[in-house]
Amino acid sequence: MRGGEKCLEAAAELFPEAPIYTLFCQKDKISEALRKHPVRPSFVQRFPGILRHYRYFLPLFPLAAETWDLGDYGLVLSMSHCAAKGARKKAGAFHICYCFTPMRYAWGFFEDYFGAYPPPVKALMKPWIRWLRRWDKDSSGRVDCFVAISEHVKKRIRDFYGRDAEVIYPPVDTDFYTPDPDIQREAFYLAVSALVPYKRIDAAVRVFSRSGKELVVIGDGPEREKLEKIAGPSVRFLGWQSQESLRSYYRRARALIFPGEEDFGIVPLEMQACGGFVIAYAEGGALETVLPEETGLFFKSPVEIGLIEAVDRFERFTFCSDNARKNAIRFSRGRFQENMKDLIARKTGGIR
């Protein structure tokens, strides 16, 4: 599961009978816990190719969110990085938005998402992005209470929506992701990520290909073929792995490489929960989840030069895996659920 799905699963446990409205989904790929809920996709689910080529359908997502029939509900909890916060509630209902981030491609990250598109296509998209930015700002007024996944996102909500937000960090399954004292750390480094441009896995691939140090890449996405072409023999691509396999790699990897700027980033915390060390780009949510010189090292731009220096420094560094585990516990699933229940009680009088 991706980070957003893990948040949804933890929150859905608080409302065991509540339906889940979504733009689209592949029902056989969602967790067993989520399949226990009625899952109600929007009309875009019916379009051929939606699961594989969803970006082509982005212009329809605001309308799709607005067509959900939420008239029976007094409390709406949306989890949004795109259009879900634009859902229309009934009069008197209370809408809490757990915001992963204001739309990245509408607010400053257009090139990260669409930079590889042909120039004529990008030119045609620019007017739509301007409209989308207006819709995103206007629809933020439908939310009664914003909750941000990090202080970094809280600032973006204030900057782009003019709204305040509380911060509740996403959950990490610290009961599952645990150290194993019988497993020894090996020589390879690890990157776990969707293979899309803004994650900057290309920088890690180039650095480790040049150095000859072993890098294992877990994840998949539209950049995979391109990354495999620039990779040297020391870089291996495994695609997505089961949770059990991922945990095994977290326990064995020398360190996690995290070169992108994320709004939060759950992967570094899963690594720390397994007692592992993190080498991360010094921007975004990583600054809130990794303790410098204690559970990780940071590097700055230019990314490749900074990463080379950080890896070299790490290999002369001594750290305590117990500190990594202790830091991850602060972000446990139980703590997330308690924080959510407390917020709902303060805002609405409690879960009902």
Q: What are the sequence ranges of the domains in the chain?
A: 3-171+332-348, 189-329
Whether residue 110 has pLDDT greater than 70: no
Confidence of residue 56 (pLDDT cuts 50, 70, 90): confident
Which pLDDT score, from 0 to 100, does residue 114 have?
67
Whether residue 215 has pLDDT greater than 90: yes
Whether residue 92 has pLDDT greater than 70: yes
Which pLDDT score, from 0 to 100, does residue 256 have?
99
Mean pLDDT for the chain? 91
Instruction: Decide whether 3-171+332-348 matches 189-329 in CATH topology.
Output: yes
Which pLDDT score, from 0 to 100, does residue 85 have?
92
What is the average pLDDT across 49-73? 86
Which pLDDT score, from 0 to 100, does residue 26 have?
84
In this structure, the strands spanning 278-281 and 20-22 are unpaired
Say if residues 314 and 288 touch (Cβ distance below 8 Å): no
Between 58-62, 171-175, 181-185, 335-339, the lowest mean confidence (pLDDT) is in 58-62
Q: What is the pTM of this model?
A: 0.87
Between 111-120, 125-134, 145-154, the lowest mean confidence (pLDDT) is in 111-120
Per residue in 130-162, pLDDT (tens digit) is 888 899 999 999 999 999 999 999 999 999 999
Tell me: domain 3-171+332-348, CATH 3.40.1350, correct?
no
Confidence of residue 86 (pLDDT cuts 50, 70, 90): very high
Between 46-55, 83-92, 204-213, 247-256, the lowest mean confidence (pLDDT) is in 46-55
What is the average pLDDT across 224-249? 96
3-state secondary structure the chain: CCHHHHHHHHHHCCCCCCCEEECCCCHHHCCHHHHCCCEEECHHHHCCCCCCCHHHHHHHHHHHHHCCCECCCCEEEEEECCCHHHCCECCCCEEEEEECCCCCCCCCCHHHHHCCCCHHHHHHHHHHHHHHHHHHHHHHHHCCEEEECCHHHHHHHHHHHCCCEEECCCCECCCCCCCCCCCCCCCCEEEECCCCHHHCHHHHHHHHHHHCCCEEEEECCCCHHHHHHHCCCCEEEEECCCHHHHHHHHHHCCCEEECCCCCCCCHHHHHHHCCCCEEEECCCCHHHHCCECCCEEEECCCHHHHHHHHHHHHCCCCCCHHHHHHHHHCCEHHHHHHHHHHHHHHHHCCCC
Which pLDDT score, from 0 to 100, does residue 115 have?
61
Confidence of residue 111 (pLDDT cuts 50, 70, 90): low
125 compared with 166, residue with greater pLDDT? 166
Which pLDDT score, from 0 to 100, does residue 200 have?
94
Confidence of residue 109 (pLDDT cuts 50, 70, 90): low
What is the average pLDDT across 66-85? 92
Compute the half-sphere exposure of residue 115: CA atoms within 13 Å on the CB side of its CA: 10
Which pLDDT score, from 0 to 100, does residue 113 have?
66
Say if residues 160 and 107 touch (Cβ distance below 8 Å): yes
Whether residue 352 has pLDDT greater than 90: no
Fold of 189-329: Rossmann fold (3.40.50)
